[in-house]
Structure 1
């Protein structure tokens, strides 16, 4: 592995001129604690902490993927850890893929709030082409222009101010947006800050797992609440079940051994099983409302979402492609970056489904 690191370093295309704007030092180091005997131990540790190191030089709490060979930050001071948001290392794209996703959902939430204000009625008069196709019975996802997917539909018919309508509130839709943003933000923070210390890594991993659970649980809320708005028994059973499942997953993830590398497949399977439990309310939805174009369209979106999430879980668990070519995907293209992109794609697909659910009930009530 040392020879692999050496060959990567010698073949690096980053020159001093092109890298001078980066905060991270350009050289990759192997930290040998024996160096401390030649000088001040504290000064020696500080100097080594500011370099990028290889996998073999990492403390145990940072050894998560042996196929990522170089460009690690190890026990950096907090200030330099925060500033490394703007530097190049093997976590840079892990941080930014979900940070950009967070801002995408922040914009979507702001736009949705302008159309579906919390506690108010939808009063817009412009129809979205997506909803026109839904009303006409065309539930084909493929036939919807891509650019139309970025907009929230509005309605010509004002929503009557009745007690029933007030109970069909919008909180499930915004809970989902909040859950998605929390997950993406915690993931970015975890990848940015975990190199600071073992304690920081432990806390951030717990928050990361909580964010994933929050995203999965909140994804169920629009599906269940709006589909079964007029069937409170099934609505409450499904909402309570997935909430308890999510809380149990968070509690299990608090066990320290859970974040060890050998439990990577267990983590993937646990979250996959929680997400797969959505098959039950989706199947129920199709049995009860399969004649409705909204039910067909949302199920199509959910199938695409499941494809994105499922592929992400497989990539995450198998650690491909870096498993095939260790050291070649250290900076870009490794499994966790691909996993992040697939998560954002899946979350956005479910946002589209949530828009249809909300529009359905806003327009018709029960």
Structure 2
């Protein structure tokens, strides 16, 4: 009879410090796992298993709205869907699945997943610029340079998030601050027209059913940020939430819900404001969208290559604890 031996799991005092997660005591994979062992861990209850599946499963749900996006007016909507799909696809495959192969592999996996995460802010900015801007900000100087600044923010935030990995052991608090800033700053920039619309003057065309979805998206994003930063509930009861219910799993669920709310809001604005937007502003062309994305890809890849190379050329102190 065929049998499959699953990889052995370890406790926190059996692995190098670079793999430690606050409040998580058990369920760690071998710090030098093979690629096969990493794939097998998808079907084994480790402290990473639900991190993987809470992003992998919603990928198929988010894939559905990609049909029928063909005209110029719909290109920004297609863009945000593709960018939001990239996040749930890359996180489990790059970061959570293969991050236990080695210390450097862990860092490089997260480099590759941080770039799509910050890159998704560009997709949001393009869609917001096309469909969600309040009436008074359409065709203003702010509107003209809004997407260009989003491109710059994406490049800067990718660099910051990659750099934070080098501070993880010696300066964990600074690492966390920089990492949160790397995600918060582009989100705040992208959301400026939404803040203006919700709290100041939306304009006649922007007073529609999408408003409640924008509000829910904002609430879920704030909750996701809190969970990511606070490490709750495992911080209050170390070892009790190692496999189910720790903050990173809850963070993933909130991110997916926030993404759903955002996509619904954008789709409603796209549909309900179409006549007004086409009469007052020029739709994005495919070349404009492709140019912004290409710039982000080039500079973000440059960031990833630079910081990946730095892992091998910058001497680091000994990070290992004695293994048992």
For normalisation by structure 2, the TM-score amounts to: 0.75
Distance 1:79 1:195 in 2: 11
Change (3 A) 1:312 1:22: farther
Q: Does 1:291 align with 2:204?
A: yes
Q: Does 1:272 align with 2:180?
A: no
1:12-23 residue pairs with structure 2 within 5 A?
none
1:288 Cα deviation after fit: 6.2
Change (3 A) 1:259 1:222: farther
Aligned-residue Cα RMSD (Å) equals: 2.4
- Secondary structure at the aligned position of 1:277 is classed as helix
1:338 Cα deviation after fit: 0.2
Change (3 A) 1:283 1:331: closer
Equivalent residue number for residue 242 of structure 1: 150
1:332 Cα deviation after fit: 0.2
Structure 2: state its 5+ residue gaps: 280-324
Change (3 A) 1:76 1:221: same
Mean Cα deviation higher: 223-232 or 306-315 = 223-232
Distance 2:263 2:142 in 1: 22
Contact 2:27–2:47 (Cα < 8 Å) also in 1? yes
Q: Does 1:359 align with 2:271?
A: yes
Q: Does 1:175 align with 2:79?
A: yes
Equivalent residue number for residue 104 of structure 1: 61
Equivalent residue number for residue 335 of structure 1: 247
Structure 1: state its 5+ residue gaps: 1-19, 25-49, 120-165
Equivalent residue number for residue 124 of structure 2: 219
Distance 1:338 1:176 in 2: 23
Higher relative contact order (CA 8 A, sep 6+): 2
Equivalent residue number for residue 11 of structure 2: 54
Contact 2:55–2:88 (Cα < 8 Å) also in 1? yes
Aligned residues between the structures? 267
Mean Cα deviation higher: 266-275 or 244-253 = 266-275
1:363 Cα deviation after fit: 4.3
1:96 Cα deviation after fit: 0.2
Contact 1:94–1:188 (Cα < 8 Å) also in 2? yes
Distance 2:127 2:22 in 1: 40
Change (3 A) 1:311 1:257: same
Change (3 A) 1:259 1:245: farther
1:232 Cα deviation after fit: 7.0
Match of 2:166 among 257, 268, 271: 257
Q: Does 1:89 align with 2:2?
A: no
Match of 1:118 among 43, 65, 70: 70
Contact 1:223–1:357 (Cα < 8 Å) also in 2? no
- Secondary structure at the aligned position of 2:209 is classed as helix
Contact 2:25–2:238 (Cα < 8 Å) also in 1? yes
